[in-house]
Amino acid sequence: MSADHDSNETPAIAPQCQQYRPLRDPAVWAILLVYLALAITYSYVMLLGRAPDEINRHYPYVRWLARTWDLPVEDPEVTGGNLELHPPLYYLLLTPVYLLVQHCDDMTAMRVLRWTSPFLLLAGLLLWMPIIYRACGGQRRTFLFVLALTAWWPNLFVDAGAVQNDVGAILASALLLYLVAIRYWDDRSIRTAIFIGAVAGLAALMKASCIATSFGIIAVALLWQHGRRFYRDGDFWVRGLATLAAFSGVCGWWYIRNYELYGAFTPYPRGYSPIPEGVSHIEAIAWGLVWEPFFDAINGLWASVFAGMVWFPDSTHVVIYNLLRLVTLLATIGLVMALIRRRRGELSLPRERAVPLILACVGFGTIFLSALWMSVFGHKGVYQGGRYLLLLLPGLTLPLGLGLHELFRRLKSAIPYALVLAFLLALSAVALYHIWTYWNPIVQQAIDKTQP
């Protein structure tokens, strides 16, 4: 972290900061190198095939495409898994890599495919950088703090160390947010609307959950750009329809195909909903059946967004989760303090900061609400799926980091920032140890043999 002390306020981003090149900052390089080291370490600590759905969906999907050059069918006995659940773009991107090593055994091929994930996520981090920098108002210390929070987020390394379509979804979502909030914010052309719609379509071909986040970001951006009387602005409707048309043109064929084959745009296995079969959503709400899974989802998503709920030894849960509660509480207090200061006129939030900050939060809020809905009405296992929320991770780390910065801003020392980041790295260290010992059956067998 930088030892220099930021000014308390930055009303706007200085002109010389508009062309900020983060890769010229040695501290940024250090943050990215730590990220790469942890990502590669995770890819070797997690046994091949033991990452979420890696052996039964993600790797078989790539192999299926390379061998058949056709989309998978709804037959697990033929394909090796429920491959039809996922859009194909991420797997198509990995197919050329698989073709280079298809002569090898499956474990070797999977290892090679795993090596793509750290670098695809690195590209996502590079796209998040200008978003984080603008949202932090050009303050270098705050920027480095939030960037490190994002790059060293423990749960990010599951995706970075595995064959996972979440990797493609994160990259596509990062690109969309960058284009909307940074690159084309002041561009009101139809051509740009078509381009953004096409990128949103590509994101939807990475993972279906990108649809909600993409349209949440785009809708808020359009409403913001055209003002309160947007409905009277013909350009608003033209741009919105152009975006929708481009989106539909890029990914519509996949979802229409699903509906024709499976009777749903996004098919997923039935029978996992906490709501009894035959009870409608309205009836479930009216009869109070939703509250228990709803509160389970709130708690489960909070706990698992930091890291998987089974990543830490049971004996550490009290310490780790209470410290996480403390960090969350401190950040919340800091955000409340910032809102009070802003209401008093002591803190400004110029548009240069507000746009990337709010749009990132909109994206994260959208995926969070989607996960809540799925946990209650779709698949009860989603409540432990905090990794699904990583598509717009800056929408979480920015409020968290800015809230903590509000508490730390009067201090001359960087020690409080360093302590929070050290805690994140400690979480990864504990998780790595637990994965290597308890969750690795080979290591566990070796340990058992040494016991008397």
Q: Average pLDDT, stretch 94-102?
A: 93
Given this model, what pLDDT does residue 267 score? 67
- 312-332: average pLDDT: 91
DSSP letters spanning 208-260: TTHHHHHHHHHHHHHHHHH-TTGGG-HHHHHHHHHHHHHHHHHHHHHHHHHHH
In a domain, 98, yes or no: no
Confidence bin at 376 (pLDDT 50/70/90): confident
- Is 83 inside any structural domain? no
- What was the pLDDT predicted at 80? 63
- What is the rounded average pLDDT of the residues 245-265? 88
Amino acid residing at 229: R
Q: Is residue 195 part of a domain?
A: yes
pLDDT confidence of residue 77: 65
**Model pLDDT, residue 382:** 67
CA atoms within 13 A on the CB side of 110: 24
Q: Per the domain annotation, does 57 fall within a domain?
A: no
Residue 13 pLDDT: 47
Residue 100 has a pLDDT of 93
Is 396 inside any structural domain? yes
Task: Return the pLDDT at 268.
Answer: 66
Q: How confident is the model at residue 281 (pLDDT cuts 50, 70, 90)?
A: confident
Does 381 reside within a domain? yes
Q: What local confidence, expressed as pLDDT, does residue 451 receive?
A: 60
For residue 437, give the 3-state DSSP assignment: helix
pLDDT digits (tens, 9 = 90+) for 153-176: 999 988 898 999 999 999 999 999
How distant, in Å, are the alpha carbons of 9, 64, 337 from that of 342?
A: 11, 55, 9
277 vs 226 pLDDT, higher one: 226
Query: What are 379-427's pLDDT values in tens digits?
Result: 766 667 788 889 999 999 999 999 999 998 888 788 999 999 999 999 9
Range of the domain at 263: 15-45+115-268+279-450
If we measure between CA atoms, which residue out of 107, 104, 93 comes closest to residue 65?
Answer: 93
What's the confidence (pLDDT) of residue 217?
96
Phi/psi at 292 (nearest 5 deg)? -65, -50
pLDDT at 11: 42
- Three-state SS for 67-102 is HHCCCCCCCHHHHCCCHHHCCCHHHHHHHHHHHHHC
Number of structural domains (the chain) is: 1
Note whether residue 322 is domain-resident.
yes
Q: Which amino acid is present at 176?
A: L
Lowest mean pLDDT among 9-13, 86-90, 377-381, 422-426: 9-13
Q: Per-residue pLDDT averaged across 67-80, rounded? A: 76
Termini Cα distance of the chain: 48
pLDDT of residue 418: 93
Residue-wise pLDDT tens digits, 436-448: 887 777 666 666 6
Give the DSSP H or E segment for 285.
Answer: helix 281-286
**Cβ contact 169:206 at 8 Å:** yes
Q: How confident is the model at residue 296 (pLDDT cuts 50, 70, 90)?
A: confident
Tell me the pLDDT band of 309, cut-offs 50, 70 and 90. Answer: low
Provide the mean pLDDT of the chain. 86
